[in-house]
Amino acid sequence: MTFFRTAIEVAADIRRGALSARELTEGLLARIDASDVNAVVATRRDFALEAASQADQAVARGDDVGPLHGVPMTIKDAFAVAGMATTWGEPAFADCVADQDAAVVSRLRAAGAIIVGKSNVHRMLADFGRTANPIHGRTVNPRDATRTPGGSSGGAAAALAAGLSFAEYGSDLVGSIRIPAAYCGVYGLKPTPGTVPLRGFRPPGPVAPGGREFPSAVGPLARSAADLRLALAVTGGPLRPSRRSRLGEFRVGVVLDDPACPVTGDVGAALSDAADALARAGVRIREGWPDGVDPAAQAAAFGFQVEWFFAAQEGREPDGAAEQERRRAALTAAWDRFFGEADVFLCPAVFTTAMRHDDRYRYDDQPFWIAQASLPGLPAVSAPVGGPLPAGLQVIGPAHEDDTAITFAERAADVVGGFVPPAE
């Protein structure tokens, strides 16, 4: 089960000479070649193998090495990687080879990671429910090939679930990290916006003047919450320490369903079982939405923010922007008050488990639950619970306190379970 271990585990073995980075990378590339999931759609074999050999030599010399030294990983095909095409799944960009790394890529490499290839995306990242494009085709869910892995970071989540990568990096505007993480049963983090730089995360071609970054964010996906923490630290800088260290110390708000977007029976059962297990572990749970938060209104207001994001790329500001900013400020203040009395808030990441490829049931409602963290700019982890088609438990934390959400997800895994490899 080497290929389903965490990045932290394999990095530790590489550093102490118990595992060869070269052999690990060769094995990973062989798995990618043999996979029919279509998650990793481009590799740079010679570069990766040479980097892995150099990583082993550095260990043999006793060099100081980074926390991801020798760890082979993939990255979403929306980040520039020098020498590789940045396609965004768009045929017009199929031959657009980057001449320099995105900020995220350069920081991962500085930590010792080996970028072996790129994971598939939906065309122009324009779908949060599936991952398909005219260049590389459709990615399937490793847990059930008849089902979607989500989008637009579906290739990233599927690669981790299938044992084709030890870490991944994606992007989240409308749930494009959290929805695929939930569907594929891995961990995904949307950081507080602005934590990780966006340089090198854009389609090829001239940079449009102006623009607006909120609410877009880039963040890691992994097979453990601890890996999320490490990946965020090396790409975003030092993290504010978690408010709590032990699970029973956390003060937790919980909403597991809402009439505006009811969860399916399997999701409801998995999340209810998880909440019960947390309560038995001593977690102090308070049910209900924070005072001043109307989830349906918040979801609608988030939809406006997304429209504004795209309008800003064209140099436009939609009508009503000022009023929408006032609403967002009021909701942000409500969440700030809530986090004065609680440490995290739990809710679904998405209302269903992975849908079948041809199932468009309630498709447009998928962002309802992710909007609850996105509109106020809060960090949120999607953590896997239940199975064999897992549900996503969304752990929302206070703004700029990403490690509080990560630590809760890490500690919760002891009682609700964590990543489980799919049946092979």
Each residue's pLDDT tens digit, 386-416: 989 999 999 999 999 999 999 999 999 999 9
* Assigned token pair, 197: 């730089």
**Quick one: DSSP state of residue 382?**
E
Q: How confident is the model at residue 358 (pLDDT cuts 50, 70, 90)?
A: confident
Give me the catalytic one of 106, 165, 171, 176. 176
Q: How confident is the model at residue 365 (pLDDT cuts 50, 70, 90)?
A: confident
Beta bridge partners of 50: none
Mapped onto helix, strand or coil, the DSSP state of residue 105 is helix
In the chain, pLDDT over 90 holds for what percent of residues?
91
What mean pLDDT comes out for the span 258-269?
96
* Assigned token pair, 309: 């994001």
Q: Is the pLDDT of residue 129 over 80?
A: yes
User: What gap in Å lies between CA 40 and CA 137, rounded to an integer?
Assistant: 11
* Assigned token pair, 205: 């071609």
Predicted pLDDT of residue 47: 97
DSSP letters, 205-219, are SPPPSS---TT-EEE
Q: How confident is the model at residue 273 (pLDDT cuts 50, 70, 90)?
A: very high
Which candidate, 214, 195, 241, places its Cα nearest to that of 103?
Answer: 195
pLDDT digits (tens, 9 = 90+) for 46-97: 999 999 999 999 999 999 999 999 999 999 999 999 999 999 999 999 999 9
Top pLDDT among 30 and 316 is at 30
Count of Cβ atoms closer than 10 Å to residue 317 Cβ: 12
Annotated active-site residue 176? The verdict is: yes
* Assigned token pair, 263: 């969860």
* Assigned token pair, 24: 């690990």
321-338 vs 295-313: helix axis angle to the nearest 10? 130
Predicted pLDDT of residue 36: 98
Predicted pLDDT of residue 208: 62
Q: How confident is the model at residue 1 (pLDDT cuts 50, 70, 90)?
A: low
Helices (H), 35-79: 45-61
Predicted pLDDT of residue 207: 65
What mean pLDDT comes out for the span 33-39?
98
DSSP letters, 13-36, are HHHTTSS-HHHHHHHHHHHHHH-S
Give me the catalytic one of 20, 106, 119, 152. 152
Q: Is the pLDDT of residue 361 over 60?
A: no
Domains and their CATH numbers in the chain: 2-236 (3.90.1300.10), 247-416 (3.90.1300.10)
What mean pLDDT comes out for the span 169-173?
97
Q: Is the pLDDT of residue 205 over 60?
A: yes
Average pLDDT, the chain: 95
Predicted pLDDT of residue 317: 87
Annotated active-site residue 76? The verdict is: yes
Count of Cβ atoms closer than 10 Å to residue 253 Cβ: 21
Annotated active-site residue 153? The verdict is: no
Count of Cβ atoms closer than 10 Å to residue 363 Cβ: 13
With contact defined as beta carbons under 8 Å apart, do 268 and 234 qualify?
no
Helix (H) or strand (E) holding 179: helix 178-184
Q: How confident is the model at residue 156 (pLDDT cuts 50, 70, 90)?
A: very high
In the chain, pLDDT over 70 holds for what percent of residues?
98
pLDDT digits (tens, 9 = 90+) for 186-204: 999 999 999 999 999 999 9
pTM score, whole prediction: 0.97
- 280: amino acid identity, one letter: R
Give me the catalytic one of 20, 76, 118, 171. 76
